[in-house]
Amino acid sequence: MPAGDELVLRDEQRLLYMLALTCLPFWLVDSLSVGRPTWDTLALRLGWAGLTGGIGWSLRWLRPSRRRGMRMVAGMVVPNVFLGLVVYRLGGTGNPLFHWFFMMPLMTLSVSRGEPWQGALSTLLPMGVAGTVMGLEGMALVPMVSRLLLLLGAGAVGMQMSVFYRRLRRAQERAEGDQRAVQEALEESNARALQAERLAQVGRLAAGVAHEVKNPLAYVQANLRFLLEEWRQPASGTNDTEYTEALQETMQGVERIHQIVKDLTALSRAEETVEGVGRCELVPVVDASVRLASVRLKSLVRLAVEVPPEAVARAEPRRLGQVLLNLLLNAADAIEDARVQDGRVAVRAEVVGERVRVVVEDNGPGIAAENLPRLFTTFFTTKEPGKGTGLGLALSRQYVESFGGTLRAENRPEGGARFIVELPVA
């Protein structure tokens, strides 16, 4: 059974169980109305409660359409019939409990769920049972009609409330539909924001990638040209060691280019291939992020990495890698914008109790005090127009918090910014 249907079923059963329980305390009212214990009405009350509770218990094995019918029986037919029997046993119209018939249309509204025909039935049933009790007593026509008209008036109020309830339910359904539409639009907007941030990261890496690919390509071309010339001149005297070194350098250059392309592809497809949150070894995640960021960091800063093998957190590796990459690129941007001559960036990890702490810090200009409270706000950026989206840090904090961790920023006492990622130990 779907979770939504299970919840509705429990609500229906709970309602009927409450109706069953309210039957028993009213036996005291029965006894007080005649000034003595009335054991026959106690038996009727027990039968009333047992039948209502039994119907509630049986709902689990019925289809939704059948449940609606049984709910109507338990909430309308059973109360009216048993109330009529109790009133008749206690003296009929002369007993104060007879006036409960005027409340029945309003009480049965709780199970009619706003259907007009059920609202009408909740009026006709009390009129029929009350009319039967009055007829058995031989009541005159005029008093009987006047009381039935009062019952009809109470039923009209109940039917109006039923219509109002139905309109309210439809308005609620429309509101829920609008809320779902807004939620879907928000999710779509978030997906576009994620894509924009990934593209922004790729763009920030583009200059470094061009430089990084240019160098291995240059010596790959030079070595291939050397090998080709030597191949055409077999008597040139070149030994096997020179051939081997040239081939090894060529292979290293090709592997470097392949790794850069592989890392960029992984970054662009990170959201589509996202894994579940679980055991995450930080050494390979940090290595991958540093390797990809190095195409931009290498010409700007000296990078220090210190991650012990025992640093294992509960996280999703690809998203955590994207967080660390964003922090590294932000450090590179800050150092470049401030024209720091001896730029340095450090990545450290340590296990502190039940948490794993990852620190990314630099010796750049730091974070202005007025910007610290807004640093993780969506679309807030201190970069020049066209250089930053204002999404990186906001999404990074969202990712870290989804792992059960925290992300915060502070300024180093000796200058520069420090970002601290704390994650639960796996």
Identify the residue with better confidence: 279 or 4.
279
**In this structure, are residues 308 and 357 in contact, taking their beta carbons and an 8 Å threshold?**
no
Average pLDDT over residues 195-201: 64
pLDDT winner (highest mean) among 35-39, 229-233, 393-397:
35-39
Any residues with CB less than 8 A from the CB of 288 and at least 6 apart, and which? 263, 266, 321
Rounded Cα–Cα distance for residues 286 and 346 (Å): 12
Q: Looking at residue 137, what is its pLDDT?
A: 86
| 190 burial via Cβ count (<10 Å: 0-12, 13-18, 19+) | middle
pLDDT score for 249: 67
Distance separating alpha carbons of residues 12 and 425, to the nearest angstrom? 44
Model-wide pTM > 0.75: no
Q: What is the mean pLDDT of residues 18-22?
A: 87
d(CA 202, CA 213): 15
Residue 423, pLDDT score: 93
Question: Model confidence over 400-426: pLDDT tens digits?
Answer: 998 999 999 999 998 889 999 999 998
Burial of 296 (0-12, 13-18, 19+ CB in 10 A): buried
Closest to 402 in 3D by CA, of 421, 378, 375, 420:
421
**Long-range contacts of 259-266, Cβ-Cβ distance < 8 Å, separation of 24 or more:** 259/291, 260/209, 260/212, 260/213, 260/295, 263/288, 263/291, 263/292, 264/202, 264/205, 264/209, 264/292, 266/318
Question: What is the residue type of 265?
Answer: T
Query: Could you give the CA distance from residue 261 to residue 291 in angstroms, rounded to a whole number?
Result: 12
**Does 321 score more than 70 pLDDT?**
yes
User: Which of residues 165 and 353 earns the better pLDDT score?
Assistant: 353
The three-class DSSP label of residue 424 is strand
What is residue 303's predicted lDDT score, i.e. its pLDDT? 86
Is the per-residue pLDDT at 398 higher than 90?
no
pLDDT of residue 265: 61
- 266 versus 165: the higher-pLDDT residue is 165
Range from 107-111, 278-282, 335-339, 361-365 carrying the lowest mean pLDDT:
107-111
% of residues, the chain, pLDDT over 70: 74
Q: If you average pLDDT over residues 199-224, what whole number do you get?
A: 63
- Side-chain-side CA neighbours of 110 within 13 Å: the count stands at 13
Please report the pLDDT score of residue 120 as a whole number. 75
More confident position, 158 or 371 = 371
Residue 198 corresponds to which tokens in the numbers above?
A: 């990934």
pLDDT above 60 for 112: no
42-69 mean pLDDT? 87
CA 95, CA 147: separation in Å to the nearest integer? 14
Rounded to whole angstroms, the Cα distance separating 211 from 87 reads: 95
For residues 134 and 120, what is the distance between their CA atoms, to the nearest angstrom?
21
Mean pLDDT score of the chain, rounded to an integer?
A: 79
Number of residues assigned to the chain: 426
